[in-house]
Structure formats: structure tokens, C-alpha cells
């Protein structure tokens, strides 16, 4: 039997009230889908959350099916489908790349052509085959999708826009401006010159995985000194307006399945073998890379302000997740207001193309601000109970949310590690309070315990603090809200000794600020912990282990709970213990 909400949706579809637009991104990394209805986001999710393959690049059939289900519609109810880049332009760039670097590029050409000819160039037929969709598929350029993903869902009526990533079709960096419904791209830097690919090259040289571990390099940078800064200055020529060119003799990525050349290794020493010991040299290289990256970014931001004359800034692209640099924007650049949406990587392109179709192509007035990241799947009380009982898992059932917050706060205060599974899953790579692992930031040993026994990851990796917005400035040198954990700020010097496990080696923390209206239960939990500890701060890290996506379903959560050092799992109103 249809409920009243479903009946209402069907009726409004029949009357032609709804306009449904589906955005898709795939074929590189972080495939995703986003459904918007009448200019508002209904659902958005990455394919990895369903396939359980981290950074899954394949056609996001599971994410699309989720979006349709969440919207209570079928593919026949979709008015437009948008794709986050133009494959023909990308193919054109690839052919130029192979021809210009031949014969060195021969093996790359041979290996990549089949996927281009059977899948990447056939997006419309792939959509028809996978989804049974009969309408047109609209394409926009990759960096325009990035720009739209930030600006069109921002709170700003006018804003400067900076997008920086590895590579789109040809563009790797773009400067633009948004006003009302329109986005104007003003300047660009094109492949093979790419700040994102420079960062990925160093990621590979330091023994980490490209398009996966760049944030590890950023965290490692805090342990080093920029002793190789002058060496990087020889590799990247940076102008006063932030435009740059790379000396391509140091790189192989434009001709091989390999990031750096022999000349790069000669300058910085032999590359680190994955999982081997991290030496001081590696830390210093990371610190030098971070310094040159920030230099480029802040010169670009200064120039962008001069040509746009607005104090509002929107950023997107993989480099927009460099939270260390982001936390310095309002201090080192003229911008006073900054918006970086939670899914700034390629996943966010699916949202960008959907809103670009609605606002910019169709000319519909903007009226939606993405101020909540909770656009993924949720599971009802009955679904969670059914999972627990079918698998004969013992549980305690809380009476109400007040008891959930109070009891969970007690467990965390007693130095237990808690898996926290509530409501709709987050959009983007950060756990922001619904698929989180929570712990006591006051315990000086908790960082090492989490890295070793729970996350199974490198010793140097920091953990993020979450704090109520109204208390943020008491504990952190922060000047704007940070709801999506996209910025690093210093912990107040006098507070660091009280919050040792969220204070990085350089005295900073990647901060999340929370308002009660955005997530009441999460907020109340922090307040209950404050009653016990005196501090309204928790450790919040993503509910996953190294190499796996953040958990999506109750089954995912329970599996992660069982194979790690997590002590308790709070899933909806149910408490599961290992004891």
C-alpha cells in the first residue's frame, strides 16, 4: 500500500509539478550520482559506499538506483541526465598527449584505448543500456561542473570561484566568477601543467597511492621542514598572479603509467617503498610540497580577488580538500567568506552538472543552499532491529534520544571507542556525525590507540575534533564556521594540553563545527560529554578502516565493529557491545 508521501509524489509528477534531474560522474575515480528535484538536492552518494570498492570509478549504477529510490521515482520520471565532463574533449587531449610523447607513450595508448572505445566515449548508450533512459544526456566541461558544484549551492549571490585538481579534459586549474545563475570562467591552466598532478607525483614518490593518499602527505608535512622548497622552485615556475608551468623533464605521467621521472628521483632521492619506514627526508619533502602548493594557491587567490572584487570565495576540485591551506584563506587572502562543499572531488561533479542544468541552462532561479551533508541512505529502526535479530546479535535498546546521548557520552568519557551509526549517510569523503567513530580527545593515548587498533593506519595520521559552533573560538583560532571539516585551524595554545589527541604535532586540528539544528543528537552527545569532562569536544573520525570506504549499511557497520578495536556500536537506538 502506498503511503501518503508516495501518493503525493506520484500525483505531483502526474500534474507536472516536479522536475527531476540526475547528475552522474564516473570513469576516473569517485563515481557518484546526485538527484535534484525543483532545484533542491534529494539524494547524493558515491558508488564506493555500495560496491565497497574505495574510490570506485565504474558506472554508478548502485548510487543511481539509490537516488531514484530515495526520490520515490523511476528512470521514466527523470527529465534530464547530466554528465560531469565532455568525453570527446578528454579523448582529444589523450590523443594529443600520446602523439606528442610517442614512442614513450605507446604502452599507455595500447592499454587505455579499449576502455575509451567501449565505454568512456559511449556515455549516452551506456546510460540507455544500464538505465533504460530514452532522453538526451547533457554534457558540461569538468571544471565547469566543479565550479557549479560549489557556487550554485553556496549561500552567495556573487562569488569568486577557484577550481584546482589533477586534470579534467584539458583544464587543471580555473578561475571564474559566479553571479546569480551564471558562471563565467575567466582564466585556466591546461594539462600537462597541473598543481594536482604535482601533488600526486610527490604522493607516489613518498610511497603512497595516487588519487587516494594525498591527504596523508598533507598530514606528514607537519612533521617536516621545507628544506626542499628551492628544489620545488626549480620544478614549478610560479608567476605573481599564481599562473604556473611545470618543468616536464621531472615527470612521466604524461607518457607513462608512472608519475615521476628519473630526474625527479635524482633531485629528491630514491622513492620510498610502500609500507617501509618513513624517514625525516620524506617528511621534509612533504613540508616543502605543502609550502609551494600554498604559495601557488595564495598568489592565485590574490589575483582572483583583484579581477572579481568580491569577498566571497567558492572552491572545488581535489586540491580544494587541502584543509591545511584552506584554514589560512581568510588570513592570507582578501576573502572573508569561503564555501567549499563537502564533496569537492569528482564525486561532486555529479551535483555540479545537475544544478548547472537547472540553474544555468534552464535559467531557473537559485534557491537552495547545501548546508547539510546528509544526502545518503538511512535505515529505519525496524531495518536495524531486523538485521540484529536475523544475525542473532545481542543488543540493548535505548528508550529515547536523551538516553542515547547520555549513555554514549559516558562510554566515551570512560575511554571506550564508539562506532556511531545514525540517520542519513554523509555526502563526500568526511564522516560528519552520522557514520563516525567517536572517542575521548582528552586521553593522550587515544590517537595512537585509534591508529593502531581501530583504523590500522600510519602512526602520524591526526584525528579531527568536532565542537559546537558557539564554543569553537574558545578552543580554536577559527574565524568562520566549518561544518564540512574542510579546514585546519590552530588549537588555542592554552587548550592543547587538555585536548592532546586532536592536536596535531604543529598545534592544529582539522575542525568540524556543529549546530544543533543541523544534527540534534550529535550535538546533544557532545554536550553530555562536556558535562562529564568539562570540554565540548570529541574525536570524530570516519567509520571505516584503512583501505575501505566509510560504512553505509548496518551490515557494513557491524563488520567494521567486529574486526577492529571499537568497543561499542551505537546503531540508531540500539547499543551493541563486545563484552
CB count, 10 Å around CB of 179?
14
pLDDT at 5 > cutoff 70: no
CA 250 to chain centre: 29
Question: What are the residues facing 340 on neighbouring strands?
Answer: 315
DSSP 302-349: HHHHHHH--SEEEEESGGGG-HHHHTTHHHHSS-SEEEE-S--STHHH
Q: Which phi and psi angles does 462 have, rounded to 5°?
A: -85, 170
Q: What is the share, in percent, of the chain residues with pLDDT greater than 70?
A: 97
Distance CA 361, CA 346 (A): 21
Instruction: Tell me which CATH code domain 381-577 carries.
Output: 3.90.870.20
Question: What are the residues facing 539 on neighbouring strands?
Answer: 439, 465
* Portions of the chain given CATH number 3.30.420.40: 4-84+86-139+349-361, 143-192+309-344
| C-alpha closest to that of 469 among 521, 501, 512 | 512
Sheet holding 312-316, edge to edge: 182-190, 171-179, 158-164, 312-316, 337-340
Pick the CATH number of 4-84+86-139+349-361 from 3.30.470.30, 3.40.30.10, 3.30.565.10, 3.30.420.40: 3.30.420.40
pLDDT at 374 > cutoff 90: yes
Which pLDDT belongs to residue 390?
Answer: 98
In CATH, 143-192+309-344 is 3.30.420.40: yes
DSSP 2-15: --HHHHHHHHHHHT
Query: Quick one: cell of 417?
Result: 571507542
Judge whether 321 and 293 are in contact, CB under 8 Å. Answer: no
Distance CA 95, CA 162 (A): 27
Judge whether 164 and 320 are in contact, CB under 8 Å. Answer: yes
Which pLDDT belongs to residue 9?
Answer: 46
State the average pLDDT for the chain.
Answer: 95
Q: What is the share, in percent, of the chain residues with pLDDT greater than 90?
A: 90
Distance CA 353, CA 339 (A): 18
CA angle 460, 481, 422 (to 5 degrees): 70
Q: For 283, what's the count of Cα atoms within 13 Å in the CB-facing half-sphere? A: 13
Judge whether 530 and 536 are in contact, CB under 8 Å. Answer: yes
Query: Quick one: cell of 289?
Result: 610540497
Judge whether 426 and 474 are in contact, CB under 8 Å. Answer: no
Q: Calculate mean pLDDT across residues 495-510.
A: 97
pLDDT in tens, 46-104: 999 999 999 999 999 999 999 999 999 999 999 999 999 999 999 999 898 888 888 88
Q: Which phi and psi angles does 208 have, rounded to 5°?
A: -110, 170
Q: Distances in Å between the alpha carbon of 121 and those of 91, 142, 143, 354, 447?
A: 8, 15, 19, 20, 46
Which pLDDT belongs to residue 99?
Answer: 87
Which pLDDT belongs to residue 16?
Answer: 52
Distance CA 107, CA 569 (A): 49
Neighbour-count burial of 368, counting CB atoms closer than 10 A to its CB (0-12 exposed, 13-18 middle, 19+ buried): middle
pLDDT in tens, 451-464: 999 998 999 999 99
Which pLDDT belongs to residue 6?
Answer: 41
pLDDT at 173 > cutoff 80: yes
Query: Could you check whether the bond before residue 192 is cis, i.e. omega within 30 degrees of 0?
Result: yes
Binned at pLDDT 50, 70 and 90, residue 495 comes out as very high
Binned at pLDDT 50, 70 and 90, residue 118 comes out as confident
pTM equals 0.94
Pairing of strands 40-46, 137-139: unpaired
Query: Quick one: cell of 293?
Result: 602548493
Query: Quick one: cell of 501?
Result: 589527541
Which pLDDT belongs to residue 10?
Answer: 47
pLDDT at 11 > cutoff 60: no
Amino acid at each position: 500500500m502506498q503511503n501518503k508521501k508516495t501518493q503525493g509524489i506520484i500525483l505531483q509528477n502526474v500534474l507536472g509539478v516536479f522536475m527531476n534531474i540526475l547528475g552522474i560522474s564516473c570513469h576516473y575515480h569517485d563515481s557518484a550520482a546526485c538527484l535534484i528535484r525543483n532545484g533542491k538536492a534529494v539524494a547524493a552518494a558515491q558508488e564506493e559506499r555500495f560496491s565497497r570498492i574505495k574510490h570506485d570509478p565504474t558506472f554508478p549504477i548502485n548510487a543511481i538506483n539509490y537516488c531514484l529510490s530515495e526520490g520515490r521515482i523511476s528512470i521514466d520520471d527523470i527529465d534530464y541526465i547530466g554528465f560531469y565532463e565532455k568525453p570527446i574533449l578528454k579523448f582529444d587531449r589523450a590523443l594529443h598527449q600520446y602523439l606528442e610523447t610517442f614512442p614513450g607513450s605507446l604502452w599507455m595508448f595500447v592499454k587505455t584505448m579499449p576502455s575509451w572505445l567501449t565505454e568512456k566515449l559511449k556515455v549516452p548508450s551506456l546510460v540507455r543500456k544500464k538505465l533504460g533512459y530514452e532522453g538526451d544526456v547533457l554534457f558540461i566541461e569538468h571544471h565547469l561542473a566543479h565550479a557549479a558544484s560549489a557556487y550554485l549551492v553556496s549561500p552567495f549571490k556573487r562569488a569568486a570561484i577557484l577550481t584546482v585538481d589533477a586534470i579534467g579534459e584539458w583544464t587543471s586549474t580555473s578561475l571564474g566568477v559566479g553571479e546569480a545563475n551564471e558562471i563565467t570562467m575567466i582564466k585556466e591552466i591546461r594539462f600537462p601543467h597541473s598543481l594536482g598532478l604535482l601533488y600526486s607525483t610527490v604522493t607516489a614518490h613518498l610511497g603512497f597511492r595516487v588519487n587516494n593518499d594525498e591527504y596523508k602527505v598533507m598530514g606528514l608535512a607537519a612533521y617536516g621542514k621545507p628544506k626542499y622548497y628551492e628544489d620545488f622552485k626549480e620544478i614549478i615556475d610560479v608567476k605573481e598572479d599564481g599562473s604556473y608551468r611545470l618543468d616536464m623533464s621531472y615527470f612521466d605521467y604524461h607518457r607513462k603509467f608512472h608519475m615521476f621521472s628519473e630526474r625527479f628521483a635524482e633531485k629528491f632521492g630514491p622513492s620510498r617503498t610502500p609500507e617501509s619506514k618513513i624517514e625525516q627526508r620524506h617528511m621534509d619533502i612533504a613540508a616543502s610540497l605543502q609550502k609551494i602548493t600554498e604559495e601557488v594557491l595564495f598568489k592565485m587567490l590574490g589575483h582572483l580577488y583583484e579581477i572579481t572584487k568580491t569577498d566571497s570565495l567558492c572552491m572545488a576540485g581535489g586540491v580544494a580538500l587541502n584543509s591545511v591551506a584552506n584554514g589560512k584563506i581568510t588570513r592570507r587572502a582578501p576573502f572573508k567568506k569561503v564555501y567549499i562543499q563537502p564533496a569537492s572531488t569528482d564525486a561532486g561533479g555529479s551535483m555540479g552538472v545537475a544544478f548547472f542544468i537547472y540553474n544555468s541552462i534552464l535559467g531557473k532561479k537559485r534557491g537552495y543552499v547545501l548546508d547539510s551533508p546528509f544526502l545518503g541512505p538511512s535505515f529505519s529502526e525496524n531495518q536495524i532491529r531486523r538485521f540484529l535479530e536475523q544475525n542473532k546479535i545481542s543488543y540493548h535498546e535505548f528508550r529515547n534520544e536523551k538516553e542515547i546521548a547520555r549513555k554514549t557520552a559516558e562510554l566515551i568519557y570512560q575511554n571506550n571507542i564508539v562506532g556511531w551509526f545514525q540517520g542519513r549517510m554523509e555526502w563526500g569523503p568526511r564522516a560528519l556525525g552520522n557514520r563516525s567513530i567517536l572517542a575521548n580527545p582528552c586521553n593522550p593515548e587515544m590517537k595512537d590507540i585509534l591508529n593502531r587498533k581501530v583504523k590500522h593506519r600510519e602512526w602520524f595520521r591526526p584525528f579531527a575534533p568536532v565542537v559546537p559552533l558557539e564554543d569553537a573560538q574558545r578552543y580554536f583560532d577559527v574565524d568562520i564556521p566549518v561544518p564540512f571539516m574542510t579546514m585546519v585551524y590552530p588549537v588555542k595554545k592554552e587548550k592543547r594540553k587538555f585536548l592532546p589527541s586532536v592536536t596535531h604535532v604543529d598545534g592544529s586540528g582539522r575542525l568540524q563545527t556543529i549546530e544543533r539544528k543541523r544534527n540534534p543528537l550529535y550535538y546533544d552527545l557532545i554536550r553530555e560529554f562536556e558535562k562529564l569532562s568539562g570540554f565540548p569536544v570529541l574525536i570524530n573520525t570516519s567509520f571505516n578502516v584503512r583501505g575501505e570506504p566509510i560504512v553505509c549499511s548496518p551490515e557494513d557497520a557491524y563488520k567494521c565493529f567486529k574486526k577492529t578495536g571499537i568497543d561499542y556500536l551505537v546503531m540508531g537506538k540500539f547499543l551493541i557491545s563486545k563484552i
